[in-house]
């Protein structure tokens, strides 16, 4: 990776830029100002001398801010946790304090606002406001300041399509930004003080309405050692961390350091540490492996087990546990099922839930979905052993029933697969063990494969029709299912492996020269006909390989070879083959190269079928066909 000077065009390795930044730091250059007049007319202009002078004056004023009585600095000078450079990318450029994430003018504005919250609290007490009310109001003001913080850092980028700033966290990480936006927090708009107060007000009204007549209590505690009696709750609702998908504690520090300055004195027990406490955090983190902060996958799973054990302990015998989970890693789901069983909990029903706001991105997109699954659990009563064949029938019936509902909810792709895990858990939970007739126990990983197979059958049946489904081979069904679930996206190795298992295919066999898949780093990408090199057809070719070869032959005008291919393979007169062509075409986006090729092939179905029907060579001729795009 290189960086290029916009003036002279010199390119240098990115590592040199990082090294320079760590040694010397970066400056800031104001290069544009947006004026908005009372009528909402927007004008972009170059900064004036007065604009530049204001920037310099802000730096002087920021340095002159008074510290707090307890010795806390007015601007967050706490060090960023250095081992978390994978999540806090600014660390690799030498930005190693939280103050370093803000320009001097941003630090000044936020420093003054946090001091103003403290002053407002003092003024309320002096005017006779009840201490508890004054504390509550000051807390809401502190939260409003943190809303402004989110839109007023040097990582806030501009959205030109809507002419508005993004927040610091359009994804759950801090990414380096080379051009950013400073806001005027006291102007009207979605990122200023008025907007922040509106968000807090809306949240308060919602919470007040939801808890009317039954006030709630917020309490911080260690999930692995809950301070509650056995059976104290009728229901426990939890949303546990998804392994290393989000680094909750380290990202929370961005807000914590400002809250500590605005309202930390009102909650000394909650702000006793320099940064958020993470020693007992139930998470797998991405910290450097040899650092004190590192929490491994095994340690996370042990902590999650202790937390679920505690949940099972504090819920009443006839109570329910509602658990939200979303992850594409099948091993994560397998461990969750084992952990629930060990905790004495069984899944009784489940529902998919839209859990990510539209347009929101995530840092670890391969692991997180637009939908989460809500698992409703109860304590395990008496259960019996189940036999493999019975479980498969139960699973097919239950998933078919629920997937029809999911169709109405417009779920698709990876979300469809994950949402089907809930109904699968419901079936598995009916039995203490699942056994083969030989007496061997079926592992949780095998049960997950069964669930995936049931989803794949449902999806491909709806795409091709039941009769065509029976005529399509596993390789063709695999291709169709991938296109349906992930389109052209690369997917993690685990996801690709599990999808192969659902069709009794081997991932390695699909990544050979001329294969259906290409490995790219740790991910795998499905290939269209124009992307494959050297497709070879044997005596019993898969319909998808015939389809891809036919696309290329048709596109190149090699009609005699195309006739021979469709005739010798039987594809030309096979309705299932043309059903596959139609289904894949419908799944592909407008303008894609593969869709164009398939439209050409499928649009001439009648003529091609008629020509293929007249061609009847020895079947061995298929071994001669090979396409070299």
What are the helix (H) ranges across 420-492?
Answer: 421-428, 444-464, 466-471, 474-486
**Strand duo 431-435 + 384-387: pairing:** parallel
Kindly report, residue by residue over 124-177, the tens digit of the pLDDT: 999 999 999 999 999 999 999 999 999 999 999 999 998 989 999 887 778 888
CA pair distance 488, 482, nearest whole angstrom: 9
pLDDT in tens, 13-36: 888 888 888 888 888 889 999 998
Per the CB < 8 A criterion, the answer to whether 479 and 373 are in contact is no
Write the CB contacts of 109 (distance below 8 Å, at least 6 apart in sequence). Answer: 148, 152, 185
Residue 235: count of CB within 10 angstroms of its CB: 11
Say whether 48 sits in a helix, a strand or coil: coil
Task: Judge contact between 35 and 43, C-beta under 8 A.
Answer: yes
Distance CA 60, CA 626 (A): 73
Contacts 24+ apart (CB under 8 A), 386-393: 386/430, 386/431, 386/433, 386/434, 386/435, 387/434, 387/435, 387/436, 387/437, 388/434, 388/435, 388/436, 388/437, 388/442, 389/437, 391/427, 391/428, 391/431, 391/434, 391/442, 391/447, 391/450, 392/450
Q: What are phi and psi of 55, to 5 degrees?
A: -65, -45
| Structure tokens belonging to residue 169 | 């966290």
Categorise residue 416: left if φ over 0, alpha if ψ from -120 to 50, beta otherwise. Answer: alpha
pLDDT at 356: 53
Mean residue pLDDT across the chain: 86
Residue position matching structure tokens 């009784």: 348
Identify the three-state secondary structure at position 627: strand
CA angle 195/145/173 to nearest 5° reads: 90
Q: Tens digit of pLDDT for each residue in 53-99? A: 999 999 999 999 999 998 999 999 999 887 777 777 778 888 889 99
Distance CA 268, CA 415 (A): 43
Residues 570 and 540: their CA atoms lie apart, in Å, by: 11
Of the given ranges (147-156, 371-380, 395-404, 431-440), which has the lowest mean pLDDT? 395-404
Q: Are 520 and 495 in contact (CB under 8 A)?
A: no
CA distance to 125, 135, 201, 388, per residue, from 131 (Å):
6, 6, 20, 64
Give the three-class secondary structure for 444. Answer: helix
Choose among 153, 143, 197: nearest CA to 175: 153
Q: How far apart are CA 239 and CA 252, in angstroms?
A: 17
| Per-residue pLDDT, 10 | 87
Give the other-Cβ count within 10 Å of 191's Cβ.
Answer: 22
pLDDT for 108: 96
Q: Give DSSP secondary structure letters for 376-422.
A: EEEE--S-EEEEHHHHHHHHHHHHHHHHHHHHHTT--HHHHHHHTHH
C-alpha span between 514 and 219 (Å, rounded): 59
User: In this model, does residue 361 exceed pLDDT 60?
Assistant: no
Lowest pLDDT segment from 255-264, 405-414, 458-467, 597-606? 405-414
**What's 78's DSSP letter?**
P
pLDDT at 371: 61
Specify the range with the lowest mean pLDDT, choosing from 204-208, 378-382, 436-440. 378-382
Find the mean pLDDT for residues 320-346. Answer: 85
Which helix (H) or strand (E) covers residue 520, if one does? Answer: strand 517-520
Which of 125-139, 176-190, 248-262, 535-549 bottoms out in mean pLDDT, i.e. has the lowest?
176-190
Band of residue 355 on the pLDDT scale cut at 50, 70, 90: low
Q: Retrieve residue 122's tokens.
A: 């003092």
What is the phi/psi pair of residue 97, to 5°?
-125, 155
* pLDDT for residue 199: 92
CA dihedral for 385, 387, 390, 393, sign (positive or negative):
positive
d(CA 423, CA 333): 13
**Helices assigned H by DSSP within 432-574:** 444-464, 466-471, 474-486, 493-502, 507-510, 543-555, 559-569
Write out 127-177 in H/E/C secondary structure. Answer: CCCCHHHHHHHHHHHHHHHHHHHHCCCCCCCEECCCCEECCCCCCCCECCC
Total residue count of the chain as it appears in this document: 629
pLDDT at 363 over 50: no
468-511 pLDDT, tens digit per residue, is: 778 899 999 999 999 988 877 888 888 888 889 889 999 999 99
Write down the pLDDT at residue 364: 40
Residue 619 clears pLDDT 50, i.e. is over it = no
266-275, 290-299, 476-485: which range is least confident on average? Answer: 290-299
User: Encoding tokens for residue 85?
Assistant: 């450079």
% pLDDT > 90, the chain: 49
pLDDT at 424: 81
Q: What are the Cα distances from residue 569, in Å, to 463, 549, 562, 626?
A: 23, 12, 11, 13
Per-residue pLDDT for 330 more than 80?
A: no
End-to-end CA distance of the chain: 30
pLDDT, greater one: 119 or 612: 119
| Six token digits for residue 276 | 């958020």
Can you tell me the distance from the alpha carbon of 77 to that of 111, in angstroms, rounded to the nearest whole number?
A: 12
- Alpha carbon distance 475, 402 (integer Å): 26
Cα–Cα dist 495/449, whole Å: 11
Burial 200-220 (b: 16+ CB within 10 A, else e): beeeeeeeeeeeeeeeeeeee
Q: What is the residue whose two structure tokens read 């792709």?
A: 413
DSSP state of 241: -
């Amino acid at each position: 990776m290189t960086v290029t000077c916009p003036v002279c065009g010199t390119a240098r390795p990115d590592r040199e830029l990082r090294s320079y930044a760590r040694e010397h730091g970066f400056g800031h250059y104001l290069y544009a100002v947006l004026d908005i007049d009372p009528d909402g007319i927007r004008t972009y202009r170059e900064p004036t001398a007065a604009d530049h002078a204001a920037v310099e004056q802000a730096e002087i004023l920021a340095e002159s801010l008074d510290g707090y009585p307890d010795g806390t600095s007015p601007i967050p000078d706490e060090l960023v946790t250095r081992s978390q450079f994978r999540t806090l990318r600014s660390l690799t450029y030498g930005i190693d304090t939280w103050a370093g994430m803000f320009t001097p003018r941003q630090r000044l504005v936020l420093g003054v606002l946090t001091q103003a919250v403290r002053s407002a609290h003092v003024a309320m007490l002096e005017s006779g406001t009840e201490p508890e009310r004054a504390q509550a109001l000051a807390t809401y003001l502190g939260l409003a300041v943190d809303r402004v913080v989110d839109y007023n850092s040097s990582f806030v980028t501009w959205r030109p399509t809507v002419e508005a700033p993004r927040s610091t966290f359009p994804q759950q990480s801090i990414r380096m930004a080379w051009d950013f936006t400073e806001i005027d927090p006291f102007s009207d708009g979605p990122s200023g003080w008025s907007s922040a107060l509106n968000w807090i007000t809306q949240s308060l009204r919602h919470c007040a309405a939801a808890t009317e007549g039954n006030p709630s209590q917020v309490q911080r505690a260690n999930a692995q050692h809950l301070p509650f009696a056995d059976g104290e709750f009728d229901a426990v609702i939890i949303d546990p961390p998804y392994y290393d998908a989000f680094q909750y504690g380290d990202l929370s520090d961005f807000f914590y350091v400002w809250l500590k300055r605005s309202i930390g004195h009102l909650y000394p027990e909650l702000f006793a540490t320099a940064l958020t406490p993470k020693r007992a955090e139930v998470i797998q983190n991405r910290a450097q492996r040899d650092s004190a902060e590192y929490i491994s996958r095994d340690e996370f799973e042990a902590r999650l087990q202790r937390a679920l054990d505690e949940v099972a302990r504090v819920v009443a015998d006839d109570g329910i546990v509602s658990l939200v989970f979303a992850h594409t890693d099948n091993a994560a789901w397998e461990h969750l099922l084992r952990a629930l069983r060990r905790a004495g909990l069984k899944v009784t029903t489940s529902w998919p839930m839209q859990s990510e706001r539209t347009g929101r991105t995530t840092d670890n997109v391969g692991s997180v979905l637009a939908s989460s699954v809500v698992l409703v659990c109860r304590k395990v009563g008496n259960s019996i052993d189940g036999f493999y064949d019975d479980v498969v029938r139960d699973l097919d019936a239950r998933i078919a029933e629920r997937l029809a509902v999911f169709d109405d909810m417009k779920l698709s792709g990876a979300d469809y697969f994950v949402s089907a895990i809930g109904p699968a858990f419901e079936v598995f939970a009916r039995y203490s063990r699942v056994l083969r007739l030989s007496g061997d126990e079926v592992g949780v990983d095998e049960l997950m494969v069964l669930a995936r197979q049931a989803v794949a059958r449902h999806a491909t049946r709806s795409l091709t029709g039941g009769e065509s489904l029976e005529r399509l081979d596993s390789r063709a069904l695999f291709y169709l299912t991938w296109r349906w679930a992930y389109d052209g996206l690369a997917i993690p190795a685990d996801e690709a492996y599990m999808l192969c298992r659902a069709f009794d295919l081997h991932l390695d066999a699909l990544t050979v020269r001329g294969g259906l898949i290409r490995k790219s780093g740790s991910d795998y990408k499905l290939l269209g006909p124009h992307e494959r090199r050297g497709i070879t057809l044997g005596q019993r070719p898969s319909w998808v390989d015939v389809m891809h070869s036919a696309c290329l032959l048709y596109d190149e005008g090699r009609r005699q070879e195309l006739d021979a291919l469709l005739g010798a393979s039987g594809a030309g007169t096979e309705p299932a083959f043309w059903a596959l062509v139609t289904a894949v075409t419908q799944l592909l986006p407008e303008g894609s190269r593969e869709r164009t090729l398939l439209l050409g092939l499928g649009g001439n179905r009648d003529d091609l079928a008629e020509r293929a029907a007249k061609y009847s060579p020895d079947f061995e001729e298929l071994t001669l066909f090979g396409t070299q795009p």
